[in-house]
Structure 1
């Protein structure tokens, strides 16, 4: 029997994982094979996601994590998300951040202001900058080259892990360039790697429903594949909870794994949950905590070709973020010295470096600060030696000041 019916829903239903008990030999066999490093099919992943007992699913995922990282280390990074404009023509239905061109609340950050923010981040021991913003029709490739060049000239030690495939599509359109030309020029201007921004969900039906003006999922993936071949690695992300079916969730994972088989360019997979405030979706379709944790575990079992899996404390809360470390995750993300996009849709969770270190340690892992390439910068083996600078904390900045008017 097929696990997917004609409507794309699972034939076993949208269960919460209480079905498929210990006597289910097929589920047990799939879990054992995946835990030992064997590849599972999308159909098997769907069965595990909808039917495997939660504890058995988490145990198998944690077994994979332990085999990959026998040192018991779980990582975090210090970075800053800098939003350079909220003006956007894509009008995604889940986004609370964007404003249409000529909107009274639209703004653009001055290049000097962006560089100054990078300086503040360096002072707080950040090693990575994530530049992200709207698809502003006034921004061609030259604007991005100017900004990247200015940052690298002032702070060459900062890794620019920024933009995403959607920005490449936008820049190609505004500047009349091909995707490889855009990627090459961004790389030469100082971009070190692409963020997974704009992935949302890659399967066709739900992506078109929530972002009808954004490039299709297969185009997003083709841009990333091109970037990988040109020497720019990236992360892969998933925003779950916007009305997609279980089968469509697994379809998103399959599309990413297929590209990873060809390129090996995705450093990590980062699932997170849709936030419901101040956007057109209105919170009608959110993913539950259980659905999120099950997805994290299945992702660790399914992605035999992606090294790292990051849990999200920002969208699910610190306690749930900590639980992901028992469901296969080896990274707890960023302190985030600044974040405006997801917080504008309702994410209000905050943390600091000391708290992230404590969350990792009390989960039974050894905390370590990493860089963009997942290299360990500081391993916090001795609590007595933990850093104490309370300024290294997440912060949801006002986007009102200081800004340059777009008009």
Structure 2
């Protein structure tokens, strides 16, 4: 039991379901011990999702790593003429989608570089050819940074682009590219790409178009407590407005092979504190995900008692975080995921991208069942 009266008051506030302010969040970030913060987060987590931990069967597709931007924290991007650079052909893309379908995937997570020689139509065609060939595969595609790039290429409104891609098979948006919203920090990490207002506006327009999306925050680099809480509150405010966010994913900075490799990787304790703080602050987000690729499997398991109720999925062919030094496996089986969740004391439930329960037929066939509760 904490002896700090203000911390005790904030604990009671979270237990009662009352919203925490910016000052409350900064105080928790700076002063709360890990166990009190975890206790608060677990109460919120179980209030919303009970004893369940969700997972999905998915694969990643990164069609190119050639990118016009040179973000200091990114180890994935490549110059056009670099030996590391690549662009996948239509045949390679369809082979990846075929492989995902044969392995029972319900989702293909599609993000990549901003290739300055590829038109918008190239990116649109990726969605179209996959959806035409494999219509049951949910396509979660393009971060807000990519959508901002599409707008720059075409001079068309974001809403028009979203509706266009939706018409050929787009299912939802991932949450990448948010990094930290503070302009000072953003200027040092990723000076030229879409700023906070653009990121938020793109997700606002996606929600208005009937598309669900996720949200992220990159932590453990040069940001402060104030920057983290400001970021979370901006997301919370947009969720109040639209209700279109499904999941928040705190992303730990991986320094290897980046331009700021001198910054140490966040510790496991920092990972758990950030997870818990996010769950407590984002009272209107139904889900918080412990992305095992970045956190390691062990921390993702522990995080299920520190606010997380989702552990992501099988995640085959992930390149972005492995290029930055992630030593997590490239792939987990469903049996492994379910075992890890059970070991964490939770009940594993397979979901699709939109949080419908997945019902498996004999073999790899599946269908969406009941809508899972989103508190």
TM-score by length of 2: 0.92
1:134 and 2:113 are equivalent in the alignment? yes
For 2:124 and 2:324, the matched residues in 1 are separated by: 30
Secondary structure (helix, strand or coil) at the match of 1:171 reads helix
Residue of structure 1 equivalent to 2:168: 189
1:220 and 2:199 are equivalent in the alignment? yes
Question: In the alignment, is the contact (CA less than 8 A) between 1:89 and 1:137 conserved in 2?
Answer: yes
1:112 and 2:91 are equivalent in the alignment? yes
Residue of structure 2 equivalent to 1:328: 307
Residue of structure 2 equivalent to 1:361: 342
For 1:342 and 1:69, the matched residues in 2 are separated by: 28
**How many aligned positions are there?**
361
1:312 and 2:291 are equivalent in the alignment? yes
Superposed counterparts of 1:347-386, under 5 Å = 347-350=326-329, 351-377=332-358
Question: In the alignment, is the contact (CA less than 8 A) between 1:269 and 1:306 conserved in 2?
Answer: yes
For 1:140 and 1:328, the matched residues in 2 are separated by: 41
What root-mean-square deviation, in Å, do the aligned CA atoms of Structure 1 and Structure 2 show? 1.8
Residue of structure 2 equivalent to 1:170: 149
Question: In the alignment, is the contact (CA less than 8 A) between 1:206 and 1:242 conserved in 2?
Answer: no
Deviation at 1:53, TM superposition (A): 2.2
Deviation at 1:378, TM superposition (A): 5.0
1:49 and 2:37 are equivalent in the alignment? no
Secondary structure (helix, strand or coil) at the match of 1:282 reads coil
For 1:90 and 1:35, the matched residues in 2 are separated by: 43
Structure 1 consecutive aligned stretches of length 4 or more whose deviation exceeds 4 Å? none
Residue of structure 2 equivalent to 1:99: 78
TM-score by length of 1: 0.85
Please give the per-residue CA displacement for 1:204-224, whole angstroms capped at 9, x wherever unaligned: 111111101111112111111
For 2:297 and 2:115, the matched residues in 1 are separated by: 34
For 2:83 and 2:321, the matched residues in 1 are separated by: 21
Question: In the alignment, is the contact (CA less than 8 A) between 1:275 and 1:283 conserved in 2?
Answer: no
Residue of structure 2 equivalent to 1:24: 4
For 1:258 and 1:232, the matched residues in 2 are separated by: 18
For 2:3 and 2:322, the matched residues in 1 are separated by: 43
For 2:294 and 2:326, the matched residues in 1 are separated by: 6
Deviation at 1:335, TM superposition (A): 1.4
Deviation at 1:102, TM superposition (A): 3.5
Deviation at 1:298, TM superposition (A): 1.2
1:203 and 2:161 are equivalent in the alignment? no
Please give the per-residue CA displacement for 1:4-23, whole angstroms capped at 9, x wherever unaligned: xxxxxxxxxxxxxxxxx812
- Which one of 299, 307, 316 corresponds to residue 278 of structure 2? 299
For 2:341 and 2:347, the matched residues in 1 are separated by: 7
Residue of structure 2 equivalent to 1:157: 136
What are the ranges of 5 or more consecutive residues in structure 2 without an aligned counterpart? 365-375
What are the ranges of 5 or more consecutive residues in structure 1 without an aligned counterpart? 1-20, 380-386, 390-407
Secondary structure (helix, strand or coil) at the match of 1:225 reads helix
Structure with higher Rg: it is 1
Deviation at 1:67, TM superposition (A): 1.3
Secondary structure (helix, strand or coil) at the match of 2:248 reads strand
Residue of structure 2 equivalent to 1:146: 125
Secondary structure (helix, strand or coil) at the match of 1:144 reads helix
For 1:126 and 1:177, the matched residues in 2 are separated by: 33
Secondary structure (helix, strand or coil) at the match of 1:192 reads strand
Question: In the alignment, is the contact (CA less than 8 A) between 1:35 and 1:301 conserved in 2?
Answer: no
